[in-house]
């Protein structure tokens, strides 16, 4: 709106401002580019450009360009509102486009009636390109800010999820029971006291340092499982038999942290009894391109504990779907009063 006021009026022509503001061509000029800008920025870019419908976007831009090209808002404002240039008494040269004008003769009247040729409105085209580019710049900047905000939110969600997973894995009862068992070993001055403290320290280090990674070495994961089982043995009676075996080469293999620990922890939560004999079987087999995990225990849990275990297994299934899409096979069986897990991971 200020462009014509700046370039078409000068310090000595203050009286031209009011006619310019009252001119219909002035408002045609303004609204032409207002429509182009807001239609492009608010509708065409979100509806077509950002959705990668570039052909339709360019088609509508071509339609708008054609309208501006034939409307010629700047040329219309300049010529019809301000009129042709005025010449003083000292400068009687006619405009170049009219050429020499004979005062007499048969061609004089024809030349005086000849219309002024329609000029190519380069200013309007330049303004059209500027307005379209400005709309694109604003929308792309907004989309970049939205994408950056989503990335920051995703990182925050990931951190919260990892923290929640940490809290779920570090069972307070396991920690308290283990500390109590270690305390009992210390009171009895058992030679296993120092080793038990070291095992608990290794578990806590593994959980706190490596759980934030998507994958950890299979060797460190198995070492954490061994320490966990050894600490669990401190509180178990002689009625519980644990068969734990690892076969295959663990080197140069990785696995999602604490995925297997979820099933093992579930065994010691709901697969042992203080009064009945219990047999726990845990097998891990590492092959060239896959890891096979098997665990089995008797069912002693009540309905309430079964529901809680089901929630934990469902969360583990979701994590497997995320980290091993189409690369894992999980089978859970509850037949014959046995809880059996068969998990195969392709690596």
Reported pTM = 0.52
Quote the pLDDT of residue 3.
74
Out of 152, 179, 195, pick the residue that ends a domain: 152
- Whether 136 and 176 share a structural domain: no
157 in a structural domain: no
Quote the pLDDT of residue 87.
40
- Whether 186 and 83 share a structural domain: no
Q: How many CB atoms lie within 10 A of CB 65?
A: 17
- Whether 264 and 185 share a structural domain: yes
The yes-or-no verdict on residue 70 having pLDDT over 70 is yes
Out of 117, 152, 187, pick the residue that ends a domain: 152
Domain that holds residue 144: 2-152
Mean pLDDT of 314-332: 84
- Whether 72 and 187 share a structural domain: no
Cβ–Cβ under 8 Å, residues 217 and 253: yes
Quote the pLDDT of residue 171.
60
- Whether 207 and 244 share a structural domain: yes
Quote the pLDDT of residue 73.
84
CA distance 196 to 185: 9
Sole residue written with tokens 């939560």:
269
Q: Which residue has the higher pLDDT, 62 or 108?
A: 62
Q: Quote the number of domains for the chain.
A: 2
Quote the pLDDT of residue 102.
47
121 in a structural domain: yes
Q: What is the DSSP letter of 120?
A: P
Q: What is the DSSP letter of 315?
A: H
What is the DSSP track for 2-67? Answer: HHHHHHS--TT-GGGHHHHHH-HHHHHHHHHHHHHHHHIIIIIIIIIITTT-HHHHHHHHHHHHHH
Quote the pLDDT of residue 280.
93
Sole residue written with tokens 């024809």:
110
CA distance 307 to 310: 5
Q: For residue 3, give the nearest of 61, 69, 78, 66 by alpha carbon.
A: 78
The yes-or-no verdict on residue 245 having pLDDT over 90 is yes
Burial label for 124, CB within 10 Å (0-12, 13-18, 19+), is buried
Mean pLDDT of 304-312: 53
């Amino acid at each position: 709106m200020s462009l014509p006021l700046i370039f078409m009026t000068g310090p000595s022509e203050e009286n031209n401002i009011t006619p310019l503001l009252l001119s219909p061509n002035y408002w045609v000029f303004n609204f032409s580019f207002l429509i182009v800008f807001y239609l492009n920025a608010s509708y065409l870019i979100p509806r077509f450009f950002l959705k990668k419908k570039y052909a339709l976007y360019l088609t509508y831009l071509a339609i708008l360009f054609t309208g501006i090209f034939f409307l010629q808002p700047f040329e219309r404002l300049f010529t019809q509102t301000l009129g042709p240039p005025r010449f003083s008494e000292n400068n009687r040269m006619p405009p170049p486009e009219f050429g020499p004008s004979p005062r007499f003769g048969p061609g004089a009247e024809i030349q005086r009636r000849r219309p002024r040729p329609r000029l190519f409105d380069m200013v309007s085209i330049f303004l059209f390109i500027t307005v379209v580019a400005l709309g694109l710049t604003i929308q792309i900047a907004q989309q970049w800010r939205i994408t950056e905000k989503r990335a920051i939110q995703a990182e925050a969600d990931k951190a919260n999820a990892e923290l929640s997973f940490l809290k779920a894995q570090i069972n307070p009862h396991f920690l308290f029971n283990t500390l109590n068992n270690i305390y009992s070993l210390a009171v009895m001055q058992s030679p296993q006291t120092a080793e038990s403290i070291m095992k608990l320290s290794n578990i806590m280090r593994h959980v706190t340092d490596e759980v934030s990674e998507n994958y950890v070495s299979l060797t460190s994961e198995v070492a954490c499982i061994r320490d966990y089982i050894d600490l669990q043995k401190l509180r178990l009676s002689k009625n519980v038999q644990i068969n734990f075996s690892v076969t295959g080469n663990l080197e140069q293999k990785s696995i999602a942290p604490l995925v297997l620990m979820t099933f093992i922890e579930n065994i010691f939560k709901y697969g042992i009894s203080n009064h009945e004999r219990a047999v726990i079987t845990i097998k891990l087999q590492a092959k060239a391109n896959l890891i096979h995990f098997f665990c089995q225990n008797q069912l002693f849990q009540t309905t309430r504990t079964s529901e809680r275990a089901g929630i934990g297994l469902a969360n583990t299934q979701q994590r497997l779907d995320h980290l091993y899409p189409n690369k894992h096979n999980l089978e859970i069986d509850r037949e014959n009063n046995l809880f059996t897990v068969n998990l195969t991971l392709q690596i």
